Amino acid sequence: DVKVTQSSRYLVKRTGEKVFLECVQDMDHENMFWYRQDPGLGLRLIYFSYDVKMKEKGDIPEGYSVSREKKERFSLILESASTNQTSMYLCASTLNVEYGYTFGSGTRLTVV
């Protein structure tokens, strides 16, 4: 069964901390994505990556960065966490966008 695994289901961090959210897929997909999900706003794209060491900004990249050192792993980094980054973070991957995405279970991050 193909999988996208996000390392943490729940995370609580303090304002100003550097936060790493990890995502690993076992499907040899080139394309990986990070979204945040907020009530009434749906999914908003933060960053995506087409290949190793490659990254592109999505719709809301401010306050975030990413790392893709290996094909299977795509990390989202909050350089200095703020309370407005409290959200559900979803990672997804695909071989081809037209095939649809496979999502991880999500990481619910609370910044206090």
Partner 1 sequence: GEDVEQSLFLSVREGDSSVINCTYTDSSSTYLYWYKQEPGAGLQLLTYIFSNMDMKQDQRLTVLLNKKDKHLSLRIADTQTGDSAIYFCAENDNNDMRFGAGTRLTVKP
Smallest gap, in angstroms, from Cβ of residue 86 to partner 1? 17
What residue ranges in the chain does DSSP mark as E strands? 4-6, 10-13, 19-21, 23-25, 31-38, 42-49, 56-57, 64-70, 73-78, 87-94, 102-103, 107-111
Is residue 62 at the binding interface for partner 1, with CB under 8 A as the rule?
no
Is residue 74 at the binding interface for partner 1, with CB under 8 A as the rule?
no
Is residue 43 at the binding interface for partner 1, with CB under 8 A as the rule?
yes
Q: For partner 1, give the closer residue by CB, 45 or 77.
A: 45
Q: How far apart are CA 112 and CA 58, in angstroms?
A: 26
Q: Which residues bind partner 1 (CB under 8 A)?
A: 4, 9, 31, 33, 35, 40-43, 45, 48, 50, 58-59, 90, 92, 97-98, 100-106
